[in-house]
Amino acid sequence: MKRIIVGTAGHIDHGKTSLVKALTGVDADRLKEEKERGITIDIGFADLTVGDVHFGFVDVPGHERFVKNMLAGAHGIDLVMLVVAADESVMPQTREHFDICRLLEVKSGLVVITKADLVDEELLQLVEAEVADFVAGSFLEGAPVLRVSSRTGAGVDELKKTLSQLAAKARERDENAVARLPIDRAFTIKGFGTVVTGTLIAGRIRAGDELEILPPISSSGPAPGRRARARGLQVHGKSTQEALAGERVAVNLQGIDLDEVERGQTLSPAGRLRTSSMLDARLRLLDSAPRGLRARSRVRLHIGAAEVLARVVPLGRMELASGASCFAQLRLETPTLALPGDHFIVRAYSPVVTIGGGVVIDALPSKHRLREAAQAASWLEKLEVADEFERVALLVEMAGERGMDQDEIAARSGSSNEVIKRAAESITKARRAVTASQAPKTALTPLIARPAFEELAGRVRATLKGFHRKSPLESGMGREEIREKIFAHLPPDIFRAVIANLVERNEVVAEKDLLRLSSHRVALSAEEQAAKDRLAALFAEAGLQPMPLEDAIAQSGVDAARAQRFAQMLINSGELVRVAGLVFHRSALDGLRETLRRFKAEHGPKLDVTAFKDLTGVSRKYAIPLLEYLDIQRVTRRSGDVREIL
């Protein structure tokens, strides 16, 4: 069954509530004060099924003082019934409500001329002509205009039929997107506890779901919301296990007190979305706005069911003129939940009139300073026209070298996991981004745009190049040193990924804790090469009875510091081997292994220290470290005083 939310709009007393009652049998005025005064004060609800369409009605107040209440309901509607009383025609709130519908980009609707029973045909035709003029050039141009009398019932059936036709053409809401329920009412029911209601504008909620209420009451900065389980759900007064986008939903929240929830908060899946204190948006001012909007003007921002005070910073200009549009950053005085694509209304701080509205483009932007306005605007230009997939790519590109993990992509885009996953795959495949981790990938694995990734790789190369130039005798630069120099403020995954990538491309060699360019060769002068060779030769000649390293260094023919480095190079390359405090040439140790192999063949595997000394001709000073070395190398195994040759 298709689910459509229909909103009323129109001037006070033009018959909106009566019309909803004529259609559904429900009096949407539920407050005592509304009944007494005969006017609507707050939004009211009713529903109706026609064929395979389920209509949820949101009836709004027409009084100019209650436009803010009207806005708490108007944000979620698919279809508008613009109500114009035949005896009064177009009036101020007809205009204001209609402006609001246009700014919210309500997609479809119709005009209902109510109180048709009160006037004659001539006047009806006049009103119809006025209405046609009024909606010309808008989304309602050419839309059905129906005459109805809620008193006699004339035209009501025709209206139902027309609503069904419009519903058939209405777009479906995305049930797979992240669920959001802007709360428009909160109350308690004896025996049940706290209940909140709202229009489920996206996704689905199931009984038992863990939800988050954002923002927390009276928070002054971004903070996680209060979490609560949905104990029970009702859609239009009927209990259900699951509510879908486009339905009016009541949620019974477990363990939540009434003073923890209020109109303007939003229910969403726990841990998924984040509140914002700034929004980047396309902002339009109405032609009818009494004056332009100067930079940093204070306005009332209505978004979802929330009203928050905000300052408007038009990007790249000092003032937005009436009738014009531009990119703007809205700086909110209290954080709220919003996502790209959300529409909002802006009302002047004083006098309180609707002056404009727009669409959120980036819900978690950074603060744009004056000189960054042009760059911010160029990103917004791309984001504004991006589809869900492209938005993921752009968000990653905007994040630059910091990259963006999937949790943040989810919070910032509002896209489903499925969309994010597919977008991540396609942009990595298209080589626009790199997934900065080896398996396993988690939600915290950042994606980093390829240019930013290459830039980091380039910096590693340049840093290594500089290092090699400065220290040609060092075999490499410390991994940690590079991390601190280039990646200190970045997620560790990004460091690992950049290094791994350079190694994979054979541009960098990682050896132990050192990194070097693969092209790096330690360049020695003839004198240095001779000294290094001499060191090696001293140990090769000494066999199993080498001199202490310091002595060899002293005989090398170059200064101790350089000789020390050559010794280290020989050790790094494996030509020299450290055994306890001694240094042996590789060939001497290889020879020893061979000697033992032959001994075992002739005399069997048992060998004690004395036999070892006889066999090799070394003193105890060398014999003990050598045997221990052989044990570690698993050439021999010690048991008591005897060793077994393996």
Ligand X SMILES: Nc1nc2c(ncn2[C@@H]2O[C@H](COP(=O)(O)OP(=O)(O)OP(=O)(O)O)[C@@H](O)[C@H]2O)c(=O)[nH]1
Q: Which residues bind ligand X (CB under 6 A)?
A: 12-18, 38-40, 61-63, 114-115, 117-118, 149-151
> How many other C-beta atoms can be found within 10 angstroms of the C-beta atom of residue 141?
10
Q: Nearer to ligand X by C-beta: 23 or 456?
A: 23
Q: Nearer to Mg ion by C-beta: 3 or 16?
A: 16
Beta bridge partners of 4: 55
Rounded least distance, CB 138 to ligand X, Å? 21
Q: What whole-number distance in Å separates Cα of residue 70 and Cα of residue 221?
A: 27
368 binds, among Mg ion, ligand X, none (CB under 5 to 8 A by kind): none
Rounded least distance, CB 446 to Mg ion, Å? 52
12 binds, among Mg ion, ligand X, none (CB under 5 to 8 A by kind): ligand X
| Cα dist from 503 to 125, 289, 478, 506, 508, whole Å | 80, 61, 15, 5, 5
199 binds, among ligand X, Mg ion, none (CB under 5 to 8 A by kind): none
11 binding Mg ion? (CB under 5 A):
no
Q: Scanning the structure block, which residue is given the tokens 């790209």?
A: 340
117 binds, among ligand X, Mg ion, none (CB under 5 to 8 A by kind): ligand X
262 — phi, psi (to 5°)? -160, 160
Q: What whole-number distance in Å separates Cα of residue 531 and Cα of residue 450?
A: 46
**How remote is the C-alpha of 158 from its chain's centroid?**
47
Beta bridge partners of 314: 328
Q: Per-residue x/- mask for Mg ion, residues 393 to 432, rule CB under 5 A? A: ----------------------------------------
Rounded least distance, CB 161 to Mg ion, Å? 24
Q: Nearer to ligand X by C-beta: 115 or 585?
A: 115
17 binding Mg ion? (CB under 5 A):
yes
The contacts of residue 54 (CB under 8 Å, 6+ apart) are 1, 2, 3, 4, 47, 48, 236, 247
Rounded least distance, CB 6 to Mg ion, Å? 14
| 3-class secondary structure, 281 | strand
Q: Nearer to Mg ion by C-beta: 68 or 613?
A: 68
183-200 burial, b if ≥16 CB within 10 A, otherwise e?
bbbbeeeeeebbbbbbbb
Q: Nearer to ligand X by C-beta: 57 or 134?
A: 57
Q: Per-residue x/- mask for Mg ion, residues 270 to 289, rule CB under 5 A? A: --------------------
376 — phi, psi (to 5°)? -60, -40
Chain residues 32-91 in contact with Mg ion, contact rule CB under 5 A: 40
Q: Nearer to Mg ion by C-beta: 101 or 363?
A: 101
Rounded least distance, CB 83 to Mg ion, Å? 9
Rounded least distance, CB 19 to Mg ion, Å? 9
Q: Nearer to ligand X by C-beta: 23 or 626?
A: 23
- Which span sits near Mg ion by CB under 5 A: 9-17, 401-409, 575-583, 616-624? 9-17
Q: Nearer to ligand X by C-beta: 62 or 215?
A: 62
16 binding Mg ion? (CB under 5 A):
yes
Rounded least distance, CB 116 to Mg ion, Å? 18
CA atoms within a 13 Å half-sphere pointing along the CA-CB vector of 632? 8
Q: Residue length, the chain? A: 646
The contacts of residue 274 (CB under 8 Å, 6+ apart) are 214, 222, 337, 364, 411, 412
415 binds, among ligand X, Mg ion, none (CB under 5 to 8 A by kind): none
Rounded least distance, CB 155 to Mg ion, Å? 19
Q: What whole-number distance in Å separates Cα of residue 470 and Cα of residue 490?
A: 27
3 binding Mg ion? (CB under 5 A):
no
Rounded least distance, CB 153 to ligand X, Å? 9
Beta bridge partners of 448: 434
By beta carbon distance, the residue nearest ligand X is 62
Residues in contact with Mg ion, total (CB under 5 A)?
Answer: 3
The residue type found at 200 is L
437 binds, among ligand X, Mg ion, none (CB under 5 to 8 A by kind): none
Rounded least distance, CB 428 to ligand X, Å? 54
Rounded least distance, CB 154 to Mg ion, Å? 20
Rounded least distance, CB 37 to Mg ion, Å? 11
**How remote is the C-alpha of 338 from its chain's centroid?**
12
8 binding Mg ion? (CB under 5 A):
no
Instruction: Please say whether the beta carbons of 602 and 556 come within 8 A.
Output: no
The residue type found at 136 is A
- Which of left, alpha, beta for 583 (phi over 0: left; psi -120 to 50: alpha)? beta
Q: Is 499 exposed, middle or buried (0-12, 13-18, 19+ CB in 10 A)?
A: buried
15 binds, among ligand X, Mg ion, none (CB under 5 to 8 A by kind): ligand X
56 binds, among ligand X, Mg ion, none (CB under 5 to 8 A by kind): none
Rounded least distance, CB 443 to Mg ion, Å? 47
Instruction: Please say whether the beta carbons of 153 and 117 come within 8 A.
Output: no
First to last CA, the chain: 80
- Angle, CA 307 vertex, CA 32 and CA 186 arms, to 5°: 45
Q: Nearer to ligand X by C-beta: 34 or 528?
A: 34
197 binds, among Mg ion, ligand X, none (CB under 5 to 8 A by kind): none
Q: Nearer to ligand X by C-beta: 14 or 520?
A: 14
- Which span sits near Mg ion by CB under 5 A: 16-24, 114-122, 224-232, 272-280? 16-24
149 binds, among Mg ion, ligand X, none (CB under 5 to 8 A by kind): ligand X
Of 3, 142, 17, 21, give the one whose Cα is nearest residue 78. Answer: 3
Task: Give contact residues for Mg ion (rule: CB under 5 A).
Answer: 16-17, 40
